[in-house]
Amino acid sequence: MSDNLNLLIESSPQIKQSGSTASVMWAVTICLLPAGIWGVWVFGIRVLGVLFASIIAAVIAEAAMAYLVKKNTIQDGSAVLTGLLIGFNMPPSVPYYIPVVASVFAIVIVKWTFGGLGGNFMNPALAGRVFVFFSWTGPMTKWTMPAVLTRIDAVTTASPLGAVKSGLLEYTGSADGPARFLSEAGYPHSVMDTGITSWLNSNFGFSLSDGYVDMFVGNIPGSIGEVSVLLLLLGSIYLFIRKIITWEIPVSYIAVFGLLIWIFGGTRFSDGSYFNGDVLFHLFTGGLFLGALYMATDMVTSPLTSKGMLIYGAGAGLLTFLIRIYGSFPEGVSLAIILMNIFVPMIDQYTKPKRFGIETKKVVK
């Protein structure tokens, strides 16, 4: 009876939960696509070339390293995801060689010098982005106005956060927050934005200034994949359902960051008071949602336990706040996350789960 059955001999457990490393990587990649397509839509078809350049460079780098160690690691999907995230973090007008260098640096130096997937202590995509940011700061901070706002291709501008940061240096005006500040400075808004904002203000008694709808939908200058908060959130719903990302990191990150902005973020504006910061403005700009939902939650470089994840997310929120409000860079998300990556082994050390039957033993003795 056993003939020709070729039964598999394996250690228990004999059944597995569905899902694998590859399925996780591909799921994240697919959930990022809507935000990527939005980037192509608002910044022009050239952006597609940037995304492809970073993905192809990442995959070739991965293939070369895998060939050297005689493993097949392409199908785990992590190189495609790293490449895509690097593309997402590029300004639309970036020269093609920059994402290529970022991808190769991410895969070869950040990931494979530590043994490939699972060995790296820092998020490869973010480390690659930060590497090229400091190497080519000029092209990495040149932003493009979305097509809907200009109807002309490739108008370069400052990002909302960058404009606020540099504008506030010598500001003595009366704007009560960054959104009004930008409107005052002549920052454009789409027709949809002004329409929805006035509808919200008249029907719900809000007093929103123009610009928030554009920020939420993604009609603002910024990195290719970071601008559409709406689509990043929608994509993450599936990842939450599949438990590929859990609530701890995004919630603690956004909560701590938002709280600190609310307390201290308003002090640079007209009345200079505390508890007056513009939380929505800071949440919707500077790639915070891309970072909190998709980058800080990278399994390899985040803590193991849920307590550890809360500490890590809170730390990233604090650092983002410090860099953005008091540092010399306008955004801060990338740096905050890779700095927190460095703390992960220490966080893991202090957030070990309590072992079963250990306390009782002490009592008995």
Indicate the residue among 24 and 217 with the shorter CB distance to other proteins: 24
For residues 178 and 351, give the distance between their C-alpha atoms in angstroms, rounded to a whole number: 38
Stretch that binds other proteins, among 160-168, 213-221, 262-270, 356-364 (CB under 8 A): 356-364
State which of positions 61-90 bind other proteins (CB under 8 A).
Answer: 73, 75-76
Q: Does 293 bind other proteins (CB under 8 A)?
A: no
For residues 318 and 312, give the distance between their C-alpha atoms in angstroms, rounded to a whole number: 10
Tokens coding 79: 């190189």
**Beta strand segments in the chain, E:** 143-144, 156-157
Kindly provide the b/e burial profile for residues 211-226, where b requires at least 16 CB atoms within 10 angstroms of the residue's own CB. Answer: bbbbbbbbbbbbbbbb
Cβ–Cβ under 8 Å, residues 229 and 218:
yes
- How many residues contact other proteins, by CB under 8 A? 49
Tokens coding 15: 């059944």
Q: For 157, phi and psi rounded to 5 degrees?
A: -155, 180
**Residues constituting the chain:** 365
Kindly provide the b/e burial profile for residues 262-298, where b requires at least 16 CB atoms within 10 angstroms of the residue's own CB. Answer: bebbbebbbeeeeebbbbbbbbbbbbbbbbbbbbbbb
Nearest distance from residue 114's CB to other proteins, in Å? 11
Binding map of other proteins across residues 298-327, x = CB under 8 A, - = no contact: -xxxxxxxx--x------------------
Q: Does 18 bind other proteins (CB under 8 A)?
A: yes
Binding map of other proteins across residues 104-143, x = CB under 8 A, - = no contact: -----------xxxxx------------------------
Stretch that binds other proteins, among 19-27, 150-158, 207-215, 271-279 (CB under 8 A): 19-27
Q: Does 12 bind other proteins (CB under 8 A)?
A: yes
Q: Does 59 bind other proteins (CB under 8 A)?
A: no
Query: Which residue in 19, 95, 173, 195 binds other proteins (CB under 8 A)?
Result: 19
Q: Does 15 bind other proteins (CB under 8 A)?
A: yes
State which of positions 326-355 bind other proteins (CB under 8 A).
Answer: 352-355
Indicate the residue among 17 and 207 with the shorter CB distance to other proteins: 17
Helix (H), strand (E) at residue 149: helix 147-150
Nearest distance from residue 92's CB to other proteins, in Å? 31
Q: Which of 95, 203, 87, 191 is nearest to 146 (CA)?
A: 191
State which of positions 172-231 bind other proteins (CB under 8 A).
Answer: none
Nearest distance from residue 177's CB to other proteins, in Å? 39
Nearest distance from residue 4's CB to other proteins, in Å? 9
Q: For 156, phi and psi rounded to 5 degrees?
A: -90, 150
Chain contacts with other proteins (rule: CB under 8 A): 1-2, 5, 7-24, 73, 75-76, 115-119, 299-306, 309, 352-361, 364
